[in-house]
Amino acid sequence: MIQPRRNHWAVLAVMLVGALFFASTELTTRLLGAHATTFERISTLEREEEALDKTLLQTAFLLYTSFDPLHAHLAELRQVSDALLADHKLDRSAFAEVHAALLDYRALVDEKEGRILRFGTLNALIKNAVSHIAALGSRYTASYGSDHSPYLRHMAQATASVFRISRGFDLDPLETLRESYDALAALPLPEAAEQAKLIQTFMVHVRLFIDTYPQYQESFETLRALPSEAALERVRSAFLAAAAERARQIRYITLALGLLFLACVVLVLLVLKRLDTSHRALTLLHGRFTQAAHSDRLTHVRNRFAFEQAVAEAPADAVLLLFNIDRFGAINDLYGHTSGDQLLKQVAAILSAHFAARPDYRLYRLGSDQFGLFCSPLQEPLEQVADALRAKVEGQRLHLKGHAVAITITLGMSRAAPWLEHADLALKAAKRAGLKQLEYRPELGEESEVAHNLARLEAVQCALDEGRVVPWFQPILDLRHDRVSAYECLLRVVDADGAVALMPGELLPLAERGRLRGPLTQVMLERSFEAFAQSDLDFHLNLSAHDLGDPQVEEHLDALLARYPGSGARLVLELRAGEQEGQWGALEGFITRMRLHGVRIAIDDFGGDHASLVQLLRLPVDTLKIDGALIRDIDRNPDAQALVESLVQLVSRIAIRHTCAEFVHSAEVLETVRRLGVDYAQGFYIGKPAPEIGKAAFTTENREGAENG
Amino acid sequence: MPLRALFCLLTLLLLTTTTHAMSPVAPIPLHPSYDAQRAALGLLLFSDRRLDADGDRACADCHRLDQAASGGAQDGLHGHGPVAGVNAPSLFNSRHNFRRFWNGRAQDLRGLIRQSWRGQSAQAIDALLTEDPTYRTRFATLYPGQTPGLPEVIDALAEFIDALTTPNARFDRWLRGELTLTEQEQLGYQRFKQLGCISCHNGINIGGNSYQYQGAVVPMQQQSLGADRFALTGDPFDHNRYRVPSLRNVALTAPYLHDGSVTDLRALLYLHAYHNIGFQLTPDEVESLVAFLDSLTGERPAVLDAR
């Protein structure tokens, strides 16, 4: 995953390089502008230099001319070269040579001006001399042309020489001119004053010409030879070289920056690509997290978190059906936790499939074995939905490690927020009351239940203290001899009048939590032994897993067996099928010790629970009490008949001697179990529990009841 | 006569090749460029004796404005060596001279004034400019944002001197084709050229653009007074070599020559022609030359009338 900071750096780098790139472009443009200006100035110098030379030639050639153009050109040369020298752009080391050449040139300009001025002085002298020689010659010819004196000849020769020298720039005829001059000087002056003055003036100018011309010519040649143009050429070439070097540097810099810029663009593209990749990965991950956060890992239905979200958005008319699997802990214990998980998965799968096409029903797993069906909007009557749900779950055979298992569920329902809390209360209330389902009502509130529990605990404690915890006795019919041969001792809390105050179903779990179970069992044992001390009837006592785990109970049993000799042979201890799982070894030891006293062992509620048959049948058990769930409608249910029949046959083949049918509530049921070969029968049809032995006489009255003994 | 014929031909050739020239003199521009207000302020300063340390001389006391800002032999206020007795040259049209002073030792006018300043100290100038109400207001207007001082004074003076030009001389107007010179004047100009005066006195200022010898043909017995080029360069070539003075307004600028030794124009012409071109002029020639030189007197500079 890319760190955001690195992306920032990448973007910063790109911006920096971009800025550098544009800055360098701008710089290059400016530099080129400066170079163009400099080059233009150098060109101006060259032009002016050329113009100066031309003007100079003109000045040398023309008799009447102005010196002003010379000064104009010189001023331009000074000004432009000073501007170049002042240009700080040429002050850098790269242009050091240009600067040096410019300084040389500038010095040459000053020197040239000096020489031009010197030449100008000599030029004026020479021009005047030449002009006057010609003019005087002309005047002489006009005045004295008829005179064939040697003057005219020498003057003409001198004039010719001056012409040759001045126009030919040639010093050779100077000697001839001297000769003419000397010849003139050697002649006596004519007597005519005007003529003599003319000749003298002529000679003064020739003399001046002879004396000045060599200087004049030398001055002109020195001026021409002045290396100002070469110096300017050096300036130009040095500048071109420096500028070319500069341009090369700029090209490299621009190239490098361009490449850097491209690299940065590539970098950004990479960053973008990686960002895109990580974005997609994150999106995917986010999707998975969302799904994981909202769904249960085991069953893949929505989880508690999803439920809370759904609740937050749910309309007020939503309905929650909360249910859990009855005796799920026992299933876990019997088949192992993996199997329990399998069971949950199967239940979830069944319901998911069932409600897949109904978006208004949403299934959630809200606890270990607790599911919720959240309905919004509710389109059918709530009872109908609950029945459908129950039918779907309970109607399925679930498969655990090759065993087909049928499960039941208990439902708690709520039509209003807070749905879960209310439905949970209703569910607990339903469990407590042994109901299949219950809809929340305000009086099921937590406070009332706690108070209720406390009140009942207090009542039990009070009953214990006041000796109102008593065994009631329910007859067990020996079907082979058709007589009541035994009674099952059932715990009852009675009021002062001896009427039942509390039923054990709601009492015992409470007692276990309130640590009252031990005292209750002790009372039951003592009272039951005492009741049957003088009887020859068998008596059945129930021991719970809690009791079996309590060493005091066995000690107490031993004491009672010792106190009432012979009672051991009549005592049948009923252990609830399924409660003993996980402690087979301890149980086996307990049974073995009890059997030494002649005590018989019965397995209670066999077939209704998920007791592990194999383990059970290994125990040295005497009687198997078949669960009421199998017996209740056995007269009309052929499956139950087949099951019980095979159970009876099975038992006859192993060490278990007897079977006993519970919940026999009618004559038809009694006849059915009798026909199926069950040894004993127990139930309301035979006799309800009663506070005294024998009081509950065998009755043929068909009754219904929830008591299964 | 073959000899004469040849001589005539040669003479003709020489003259045709050398006299056929472009106009060697240019007229003074009609509208010189300068800052009129600063120049007007410069005129005040130019005439103000308070600028002098002794308080007894203004610029205008030597460069007399009624004499084309020239003034005869002076005691060398712009000291550069022993220049006492040097003739103060005309400042009129001096912006068109290629150099200043007789030996051309200065070129930049402002630099010249600054270097040769012999007036009040900078502090005294500051005080003067603060105390004088006219200066205070005019400097504040013309040099806004600056505390006026010597540099501003020099600037205004320089602007004034640059403004001293004399356009519309008769000769200039003739050059521009605006009028016809008298025969005498035309004759003078022809002689001016024929005699070779034009060799040194040419260009816009009819002089002022080269260094030439005084006594080029016949040496003069004259002290250079340290005003010649030799005093500046030490080069023997420069003995008696001076910046050629302008002939503009020459009728107004007597006395003449670097030492102001000649007060009359005609006398100057006789003397100058003899020593510098080797001719003894005839009165007829002098008169025509004077007529020509008179035509070089231009209009009074406009700046002098701007107050």
pLDDT of A310 over the 50 cut: yes
- A34 CB-near residues (< 8 Å, 6+ apart): A87, A89
The confidence score (pLDDT) of residue B7 equals 61
What gap in Å lies between CA A177 and CA B269, rounded to an integer?
31
The upper half-sphere exposure of residue A689, i.e. CA atoms within 13 Å in the direction of its Cβ, equals 24
pLDDT of A581 over the 70 cut: no
- Mean per-residue pLDDT, A452-461: 74
For residue B2, what are the CA distances in angstroms to A145, A146, A156, B9, B69? 13, 13, 12, 10, 58
- Mean per-residue pLDDT, B184-190: 96
The residue among B28, B217, B242 with the most chain A CBs within 10 A of its CB, best to mutate, is: B217
Question: Is B77:B9 a contact under the CB 8 Å cutoff?
Answer: no
Least confident of A80-89, A100-109, A544-553: A544-553
pLDDT of A696 over the 80 cut: no
Q: Tell me which DSSP letter residue A415 carries.
A: S
- CA gyration radius, chain B: 22
Cα-flanking dihedrals φ and ψ of residue A602, to 5°?
-120, 145
pLDDT of A594 over the 80 cut: yes
pLDDT of A316 over the 70 cut: yes
DSSP string, A155-172: HHHHHHHHHHHHHHT-ST
Q: Do B217 and A71 touch (CB under 8 A)?
A: no
Reading the block at residue A379, the tokens are 């389109």
- Mean per-residue pLDDT, B200-211: 95
What gap in Å lies between CA B211 and CA A222, rounded to an integer?
18
Q: Do B13 and A135 touch (CB under 8 A)?
A: no
- A32 CB-near residues (< 8 Å, 6+ apart): none
- List CB contacts (< 8 A) between B15 and chain A: 134-135, 138
Q: Tell me which DSSP letter residue A707 carries.
A: -
- Residue B202: which of A67, A138, A160 has the nearest Cβ? A67
- Cα angle value B81/B84/B86 (rounded, 5°): 100
A237-247 in b/e burial notation, b at 16+ Cβ within 10 A? Answer: ebbeebbeebe
Most confident of A273-277, A398-402, A435-439, B267-271: B267-271
pLDDT of A613 over the 80 cut: no
Q: Which tops the pLDDT comparison, A652 or A199?
A: A199
- List CB contacts (< 8 A) between B216 and chain A: 124-125, 128, 208
The confidence score (pLDDT) of residue B82 equals 44
What gap in Å lies between CA A42 and CA B61, rounded to an integer?
47
**Residue labelled with tokens 């003139």:** A184
The confidence score (pLDDT) of residue A1 equals 45
Question: Touching check for A143 and chain B: CB below 8 Å?
Answer: no
Q: Do A163 and B278 touch (CB under 8 A)?
A: no
Q: Do B8 and A141 touch (CB under 8 A)?
A: yes
The residue among B18, B201, B244 with the most chain A CBs within 10 A of its CB, best to mutate, is: B18
Cα-flanking dihedrals φ and ψ of residue A365, to 5°?
-100, 120
The residue among A55, A56, A63 with the most chain B CBs within 10 A of its CB, best to mutate, is: A63
- Mean per-residue pLDDT, B109-121: 84
pLDDT of A112 over the 90 cut: yes
Distance from CA of A26 to the nearest CA of B (A): 36
Q: Which tops the pLDDT comparison, B55 or A99?
A: A99
Q: Which tops the pLDDT comparison, A20 or A145?
A: A20
What gap in Å lies between CA A556 and CA B152, rounded to an integer?
134
Which strand (E) or helix (H) includes residue A574?
strand A571-576
* Cβ pairs bridging A and B (under 8 Å): 121
3-state secondary structure of A601: strand
- Residue B24: which of A64, A153, A205 has the nearest Cβ? A64
The confidence score (pLDDT) of residue A512 equals 67
What gap in Å lies between CA A60 and CA A127, rounded to an integer?
8
Closest by CA to A668, choosing from A705, A632, A706, is A632
Reading the block at residue A331, the tokens are 């299933």
Question: Touching check for A246 and chain B: CB below 8 Å?
Answer: no
Closest by CA to A577, choosing from A601, A612, A622, is A612
Q: In what order do the strands lie in the sheet with A319-325?
A: A361-365, A370-375, A319-325, A409-414, A437-439
The upper half-sphere exposure of residue B57, i.e. CA atoms within 13 Å in the direction of its Cβ, equals 15
DSSP string, A274-297: HHHHHHHHHHHHHHHHHHHHHB-T
3-state secondary structure of A145: coil
What gap in Å lies between CA B296 and CA B201, rounded to an integer?
12
Computed over every residue of chain A, the mean pLDDT equals 84
DSSP string, chain B: -HHHHHHHHHHHHHHHHHH-------PPPSS----HHHHHHHHHHHT-GGGBSSSS--HHHHSBGGGTTB-EEE--TT-SSS-TTEEEPP-TTGGGSSSBSTT--B--HHHHHHHT--BS-HHHHHHHHHH-HHHHHHHHHHSTTS---HHHHHHHHHHHHHH------HHHHHHTTSS---HHHHHHHHHHHHTTGGGTS-TTTTSSSSEEETTSSS------TT-SHHHHH--GGGTTEEEPPP-TTGGGS-SBSTT--B--HHHHHHHHHHHHH-----HHHHHHHHHHHHTT--PPPGGGG--
Cα-flanking dihedrals φ and ψ of residue B105, to 5°?
-80, -5
For residue A98, what are the CA distances in angstroms to A43, A112, A229, A236, A242? 14, 20, 15, 8, 8
Q: How confident is the model at residue B38 (pLDDT cuts 50, 70, 90)?
A: very high
The confidence score (pLDDT) of residue A60 equals 85
The confidence score (pLDDT) of residue A578 equals 63
Reading the block at residue A691, the tokens are 């506070």
What gap in Å lies between CA A101 and CA A198, rounded to an integer?
54
pLDDT of B1 over the 50 cut: no
- List CB contacts (< 8 A) between B204 and chain A: 66, 68
The confidence score (pLDDT) of residue A700 equals 40
Distance from CA of A163 to the nearest CA of B (A): 7
Q: Do A132 and B278 touch (CB under 8 A)?
A: yes
- List CB contacts (< 8 A) between B17 and chain A: 167
**Residue labelled with tokens 């003076």:** B157
pLDDT of A565 over the 70 cut: yes
The confidence score (pLDDT) of residue A2 equals 47
pLDDT of B97 over the 60 cut: yes
Q: Tell me which DSSP letter residue A397 carries.
A: P
The confidence score (pLDDT) of residue A697 equals 46
pLDDT of A10 over the 70 cut: yes
Digit-coded pLDDT (tens) for A651-661? 888 778 888 99
Q: Give the distance, in angstroms, between the CA of residue B261 and the centroid of all CA atoms in the same chain.
A: 17
The confidence score (pLDDT) of residue A249 equals 86
The confidence score (pLDDT) of residue A699 equals 43
DSSP string, A629-691: HHHTTTTT-HHHHHHHHHHHHHHHHSS--EEEE----SHHHHHHHHHTT-SEEESTTT---BS
The confidence score (pLDDT) of residue A450 equals 62
Question: Touching check for A163 and chain B: CB below 8 Å?
Answer: yes
Distance from CA of A129 to the nearest CA of B (A): 8
What gap in Å lies between CA A85 and CA B53, rounded to an integer?
39
Most confident of B71-80, B82-91, B255-264: B255-264
pLDDT of A216 over the 50 cut: yes
Q: How confident is the model at residue A192 (pLDDT cuts 50, 70, 90)?
A: confident
3-state secondary structure of A476: strand
* Helix A4-61 vs helix A96-144: crossing angle, to nearest 10: 10
- Mean per-residue pLDDT, A296-315: 84
Computed over every residue of chain B, the mean pLDDT equals 87
pLDDT of A339 over the 90 cut: no
Closest by CA to A439, choosing from A394, A388, A507, A385, is A385
Q: Do A125 and B213 touch (CB under 8 A)?
A: yes
**Residue labelled with tokens 């005007």:** A194
- Residue B200: which of A68, A70, A124 has the nearest Cβ? A124
Distance from CA of A222 to the nearest CA of B (A): 16
Digit-coded pLDDT (tens) for A242-252? 888 888 888 88
Most confident of A202-211, A329-338, A631-640, A677-686: A202-211
Digit-coded pLDDT (tens) for A539-550? 998 888 778 878
pLDDT of B19 over the 50 cut: no
What gap in Å lies between CA A570 and CA A540, rounded to an integer?
9
For residue B74, what are the CA distances in angstroms to A241, B88, B260? 56, 6, 9
- Mean per-residue pLDDT, A570-590: 77
What gap in Å lies between CA A689 and CA A696, rounded to an integer?
7
Distance from CA of A111 to the nearest CA of B (A): 13
Least confident of A21-30, A639-648, A674-683, B2-11: B2-11
pLDDT of A105 over the 60 cut: yes
Distance from CA of B254 to the nearest CA of A (A): 25
Question: Is A101:A234 a contact under the CB 8 Å cutoff?
Answer: yes
- Residue B203: which of A63, A68, A127 has the nearest Cβ? A68
What gap in Å lies between CA A20 and CA A259, rounded to an integer?
12
- CA gyration radius, chain A: 68
